[in-house]
Amino acid sequence: MQLENFTGTKPILLLQDIYSTIYLSNLVEDIILDAERELDQKETNRKHKMMINQTVSIGILKNDLIYILLETDNQKKNILFQQIYEDISKNLVPIRPDRHYTRTKGRLAGKYSNTHKRAY
């Protein structure tokens, strides 16, 4: 979610970034939990258990949430939300137990740039 990467410098903009990030993360987590419950119920014989990719889910919701909030017709809102739910449910990644690889960390220039958040 890159909460430390703010898009502004004024206090009101910082608070807006924090509140919007918290709201978005709670909404994504709620959708992911519902989708994973549904996935567990209809899970077939797979080599690994699957889970929903959280980063892609955040990106999908960030792009399409504004359309739901601006829509006035409740039926269209439900259709848009169902489409987001289906898009999020399709992005699965396997859970592979006992995988521990060392991370190579280097110093990145502009790691916390003030103009772009990298999630999705």
Which residues, other chains included, contact 24 with Cβ-Cβ below 8 Å and sequence gap of 6+? 1, 58, 61, 62, 65
pTM, rounded to two decimals: 0.69
Over range 14-32, report the average pLDDT.
Answer: 89
109 within some domain: no
Tens digits of residue pLDDT in 84-107: 999 998 888 888 888 777 766 666
Tens digits of residue pLDDT in 39-54: 887 776 777 788 898 8
86 within some domain: yes
21 within some domain: yes
Domain that holds residue 80: 11-95
61 within some domain: yes
Q: Can you tell me the distance from the alpha carbon of 61 to that of 6, in angstroms, rounded to the nearest whole number?
A: 19
Q: Can you tell me the distance from the alpha carbon of 84 to that of 76, in angstroms, rounded to the nearest whole number?
A: 12
Measured at the CA of 25, the angle between CA 113 and CA 11, to 5 degrees, comes to 50
Nearest residue to 84 (alpha-carbon basis) of 18, 24, 3: 24
Which residues, other chains included, contact 31 with Cβ-Cβ below 8 Å and sequence gap of 6+? 57, 61, 84, 85, 88
Per the structure, the count of domains in the chain is 1
34 within some domain: yes
108 within some domain: no
DSSP helix/strand/coil, 93: strand
